[in-house]
A and B are shown apart, each in its own frame.
Chain A
Amino acid sequence: MNNCMYCGEPKSARPMWSTLFWPERLTSLCESCASSFPLLTNQGCPSCMKQAGSDICSDCLQWETSDYQAVLDKNVSLYSYNYFIRDYVAQWKYRGDYALGKVFEQAFRQLFQRHFSNQQYFAVPIPLSDERMQERGFNQAAELADFTGATQIEVLGRKHGEKQSKRSKRHRMRADNPFYLLGESPRYTVLIDDIYTTGATLRHAAQVLKENGAQKIAACTLIRG
């Protein structure tokens, strides 16, 4: 309990004036690890939070001229991408260290509440295919969706295919949609996933929902890659 859950070094939280009577929440990480997550500080692209200027980014413009026009309102994320978070997420989702996800609970809920508290949004995690689920034992997107505090419904299923992370961007944009509907699509949906890289996965999922009656679909992701 005294050591960092991730790096194994002893945690040292030194009280200051501001934490004398009201200490920080208990975290399972040491100060050094906890401060290594690259928090997104700028809004960036108003549509996907890509950190390149404050106008709609070229990626989003490209999507809006494709078949996926207007399927996804916007994406909000918590962190940008660096080596630390890459390794951390790898440990978490590929090597099945479920507890590592827990550290995002507080911040992820706050992110969700800040952007999606005004309407009756449902949280829809991006699913894993059955095979992948078998392999990993848990779905990190569902874990994140648990944190949001919103009602979570699993209306999507996923066909087994190649890992997204092994495909190129062009390939991803043109790929077949692996998602299918399991139940009734909610009117207001926030898709939950761990990472927004090109936005292809999220738009595939959004399109399935949109075609089945969803009015408004946004995405809330941990990382803007």
Chain B
Amino acid sequence: MTGRWHIVALAALGGLLAHTLHAAVLAALLTWLALLLLTKRIPFVLFIFSMLVCLLFFFISTLNQNSPPVLPLDEPLQLTSTISHLSETDDHLSFRVQTPTHSSFILVTYFKQDALDHLPGLAPGATCVLQGTLSEPEPATNPGEFDYKQYLQKKKIYYELEVKKVQDVSCKGTSFFTFPLKIRSAFLEKTDNILDGHTAAWVQAMIAGEDSNLDEQTVQLFNRWSLSHILAISGMHIALFSAILYFLLTKLQLLTREKTYAFLFGFLAIYPIFAGGEPSVWRSALMVMLIMLFKVLGIKLSIIDSISIVFLLLLIFDPNYLFHVGFQFSFLVSLALLLSARIYTGSFASALLETSLLSQLVILPLQVSQFFFLNPLSGLMNLFAIPFYTFLGIPLLLLISVLLFLFPAAANKLGYVFKLLNEAVIQLFHLVDDVAFFPWVTGKLPIGLSVLYFAALVLFCSAWETGKRKKAVHFGAVLTVIPLAAALWPYADNTGRVTMLDIGQGDAFVVELPYRRGVYLIDAAGSVGMDFQPTDKAFEQVIKPYLYQRGISKVDGIFASHADHDHIGSIGKLTEEFHVDWVRTSLYFDKQQAQQWNPDTKLISWKAGELLQLPGWEIQLLGPVTDKSEPNKNSLVMYTMLGGKSWLFMGDAGKEEEMEILKRYPSLRADILKIGHHGSNTSTDPAWLRQLNPREALISAGRKNKYGHPAPEVVEALDNKNIRIWRTDTDGAVVYSFSSKTGTFSPYLP
């Protein structure tokens, strides 16, 4: 079995994927194993064992699909459970409790009145009685949007509960097994008390795995440059900690070698719990433990055998780990680096380059499926950042952590040193980010292409390690062509799309012409926070991810129907990040609104009656004809043909404007009508519908919005005429895919 355990691990992987991807995976896997046996590459025992493991994991993955327990929503409920995964930030507390049948979890949140507010008796392992109302987590409603519901489901969380007041929770007791978590709570508290905010946040993230206090800007910067692995506790940290501990204990002759092993063993068993229990931390801790165990027991297994066994152990513990991004990154990168032993030949510097290149290559499909873009220069940034944090940053943080308990004053002073250094480095990253961030937006990578990519990667590295340069160059070319193909695919695609994004209470439509002849937006709503101040949420969470997953990094133009935040609030960010050529408005648009927009974007006024001819698309402007000095009434009313059907986009125009247009264009018809003003009863006169005679209607309105949009009488009028209604509050985003003659609507939510 020596040197062959990875085959068992691959068999387990195949068994799990067969259920999520396709049963053909199972057939392919069994064929592969049979071929290995027939060509005498694996012994019979291993063949049988791998088959059993594969079937076992296939079986586990089918079992794992059990439906969530049915619990009553929207009615008060009392729960008693021990709590876990306690996490605290300045403004909220969250933890998990078990459902009554212990089959899944409920995520409990409490928003704190102030930073010192807390729930009495709340501690890891405590048993709590809770009162509250359950709700279901929100699913993604737009293509490309982060799916919070699915994210929680992977953690077996199907419900959320918000604790409204302190009295709704009473906790008591604790459990012995949670002592690492108690140390953690005490540790986190100490960091907050003794260190400055910056250093405290970094100590918490890098030593205790609590990243909720890190500066959001920094986190995003690190994400853009594929540096986020530094912010999470990873194999690098564990290896470093183990090495430092081992060195100190043996060199200072504090313990014998055997006792050092035992000590390290204990440390590694407890530390992952202390550090928040992320699978990547368990991955590396278990690996070091296994290697030590084998060494002590005199079992000679290759290091790849160890990582394979850890892979199996973690997946037996929880098969859902497979879908955990940190788990995927951790295993892929470690495996790639371990497999490449033959590739590193030269000096330390060249090994560093090779390591960096290999890690970037192996995580590319993950990176793309998560962020829809690549940053070609991120490897260079890693080249600088990894040594800095490995040899300076993390050891310093570790030293500060130790000093916290021994000499708090020294820890505090050293904290300032760290802050100084780290802020300088982050500042440097920001500078580079400003001048050298060229994201290559690839869009979504189809699963087939990802598989192809990994196949090419394995062949590329095989050729490299066996010194077949010419072959390596060929496969290297295939490797670069694959993301390129994904990015170029829309230019060969004859289908266009009109997408009504579910942006809450507001409008945002994306028009993608066939063969990517142009990408236009009709309105781009902004969002508002709790305090009614504008936020970037709509742009960052809906519009940008949608455009990125479609592989769009440039928007040709935006039609701004009128000067209201729920129609134009995201235009500023769009002009900053998507090289928008122009924004077209009515003659009566309040130019003040455009002051914050990127000056490179032309602001064009458009006169009613004019026909706009764009490459591959024509739009006729029907209104506004006169200035009514009210944004809604001054909405652009646009008539166009897409996919062989006539469309009318109304903005927020009302009944008065409808009648005026009918007067000017008495024979106007529209197959598809974007209902004016989110379905308010001030728009969409029955007479208007009679004349236009649409077959489908689009309504963009927020879920449970306070205006009651769409108005029942509008819905009734549409129903009476048998007009199919597509609405964002119930359908999520609605995509109209069209070719030259026809098209079909499909809602994002089932």
Interface-lining segment among B37-45, B88-96, B538-546: B37-45
Once the chains bind, are A17 and B302 in contact (CB under 8 Å)? no
Residue contacts A-B, CB under 8 angstroms, 20 given: A10-B2, A10-B300, A11-B2, A12-B3, A13-B3, A14-B303, A15-B339, A16-B339, A16-B340, A16-B465, A17-B342, A17-B458, A17-B464, A18-B462, A22-B36, A23-B3, A23-B7, A23-B41, A24-B41, A26-B40
Which B residues have a C-beta under 8 Å from some C-beta of A? 1-4, 6-7, 10, 32, 36, 39-43, 300, 302-304, 339-343, 458, 461-462, 464-466
A1 close to B (CB within 8 Å): yes
- Alpha-carbon distance between A13 and B465 when the two chains are bound, in angstroms: 16
Q: A10-B2, A14-B302 are in contact. Are A26 and B7 (CB under 8 A)?
A: no
Once the chains bind, are B2 and A2 in contact (CB under 8 Å)? yes
CB contacts (< 8 Å) of A25 on chain B: these are 39-41
Once the chains bind, are A23 and B339 in contact (CB under 8 Å)? no
Q: Which of the residues A10, A22, A26 comes within 8 Å of B43, measured between beta carbons?
A: A26
Q: A12-B302, A15-B302 are in contact. Are A20 and B41 (CB under 8 A)?
A: no
Name the residue of chain A whose CB is nearest to the CB of B468: A18
- Alpha-carbon distance between A5 and B32 when the two chains are bound, in angstroms: 28
Which has the most chain A C-beta neighbours within 10 Å: B2, B302, B343?
Answer: B2
CB contacts (< 8 Å) of A23 on chain B: these are 3-4, 7, 36, 41-42
Q: Which of the residues A1, A10, A14, A17 comes within 8 Å of B461, measured between beta carbons?
A: A17
Knowing that A14-B302, A23-B4 touch, tell me 12 more A-B residue pairs with CB under 8 angstroms.
A2-B1, A14-B304, A15-B6, A15-B302, A16-B340, A16-B341, A17-B339, A17-B461, A17-B462, A22-B36, A23-B3, A25-B39
A83 close to B (CB within 8 Å): no
CB contacts (< 8 Å) of B2 on chain A: these are 2, 10-13
- Alpha-carbon distance between A17 and B750 when the two chains are bound, in angstroms: 43
Residue-wise interface mask of A (1-44) relative to B, using a CB-CB cutoff of 8 A (1 in contact, 0 not)? 11000000011111111101111111000000000000000000
Q: How far is the CB of B301 from chain A (nearest CB, A)?
A: 8
Name the residue of chain B whose CB is nearest to the CB of A13: B3
Q: A10-B2, A13-B3, A23-B4 are in contact. Are A18 and B304 (CB under 8 A)?
A: no
CB contacts (< 8 Å) of A22 on chain B: these are 36, 41
Once the chains bind, are A14 and B341 in contact (CB under 8 Å)? yes
Interface size class of A (residues with CB under 8 A): 10 to 19
Q: How far is the CB of A7 from chain B (nearest CB, A)?
A: 14
Name the residue of chain A whose CB is nearest to the CB of B358: A17
CB contacts (< 8 Å) of A17 on chain B: these are 339-340, 342-343, 458, 461-462, 464-465
Once the chains bind, are A18 and B465 in contact (CB under 8 Å)? yes
* Residues 153-198 of A contacting B (Cβ, < 8 Å): none
CB contacts (< 8 Å) of B42 on chain A: these are 23, 26
- Alpha-carbon distance between A16 and B300 when the two chains are bound, in angstroms: 17
Once the chains bind, are A14 and B40 in contact (CB under 8 Å)? no
Once the chains bind, are A20 and B40 in contact (CB under 8 Å)? no
Name the residue of chain A whose CB is nearest to the CB of B304: A15
- Alpha-carbon distance between A21 and B465 when the two chains are bound, in angstroms: 15
- Alpha-carbon distance between A18 and B464 when the two chains are bound, in angstroms: 9
CB contacts (< 8 Å) of A26 on chain B: these are 40-43
Q: A15-B339, A26-B40 are in contact. Are A21 and B3 (CB under 8 A)?
A: no
Q: A2-B1, A13-B3, A14-B304 are in contact. Are A20 and B43 (CB under 8 A)?
A: no
- Alpha-carbon distance between A16 and B342 when the two chains are bound, in angstroms: 8
CB contacts (< 8 Å) of B1 on chain A: these are 2
CB contacts (< 8 Å) of B40 on chain A: these are 25-26
CB contacts (< 8 Å) of B7 on chain A: these are 23
- Alpha-carbon distance between A23 and B303 when the two chains are bound, in angstroms: 16
Q: How far is the CB of A33 from chain B (nearest CB, A)?
A: 15
- Alpha-carbon distance between A2 and B300 when the two chains are bound, in angstroms: 9
Which has the most chain A C-beta neighbours within 10 Å: B1, B303, B462?
Answer: B462
Q: Which of the residues A1, A15, A18 comes within 8 Å of B3, measured between beta carbons?
A: A15
CB contacts (< 8 Å) of B461 on chain A: these are 17-18
- Alpha-carbon distance between A156 and B383 when the two chains are bound, in angstroms: 70
- Alpha-carbon distance between A13 and B302 when the two chains are bound, in angstroms: 7
Name the residue of chain A whose CB is nearest to the CB of B460: A17
Pick the 5 closest A-B CB pairs, nearest first: A13-B3, A18-B462, A17-B461, A10-B300, A14-B302
- Alpha-carbon distance between A11 and B301 when the two chains are bound, in angstroms: 9
CB contacts (< 8 Å) of B464 on chain A: these are 17
Once the chains bind, are B32 and A21 in contact (CB under 8 Å)? yes
Q: How far is the CB of B278 from chain A (nearest CB, A)?
A: 26
Name the residue of chain A whose CB is nearest to the CB of B4: A23
CB contacts (< 8 Å) of B302 on chain A: these are 12-15
CB contacts (< 8 Å) of B339 on chain A: these are 15-17, 20
Q: How far is the CB of A31 from chain B (nearest CB, A)?
A: 9
- Alpha-carbon distance between A17 and B4 when the two chains are bound, in angstroms: 13
- Alpha-carbon distance between A12 and B301 when the two chains are bound, in angstroms: 7
Which has the most chain B C-beta neighbours within 10 Å: A2, A17, A21, A25?
Answer: A17
CB contacts (< 8 Å) of B340 on chain A: these are 16-17
Q: How far is the CB of B355 from chain A (nearest CB, A)?
A: 14
- Alpha-carbon distance between A22 and B32 when the two chains are bound, in angstroms: 9
- Alpha-carbon distance between A47 and B300 when the two chains are bound, in angstroms: 46
Q: How far is the CB of A164 from chain B (nearest CB, A)?
A: 34
CB contacts (< 8 Å) of A24 on chain B: these are 41
- Alpha-carbon distance between A17 and B462 when the two chains are bound, in angstroms: 5
- Alpha-carbon distance between A15 and B340 when the two chains are bound, in angstroms: 9
- Alpha-carbon distance between A18 and B467 when the two chains are bound, in angstroms: 11
Name the residue of chain A whose CB is nearest to the CB of B308: A15
Once the chains bind, are A1 and B43 in contact (CB under 8 Å)? yes
- Alpha-carbon distance between A13 and B341 when the two chains are bound, in angstroms: 13
Once the chains bind, are A20 and B3 in contact (CB under 8 Å)? no
- Alpha-carbon distance between A173 and B670 when the two chains are bound, in angstroms: 106
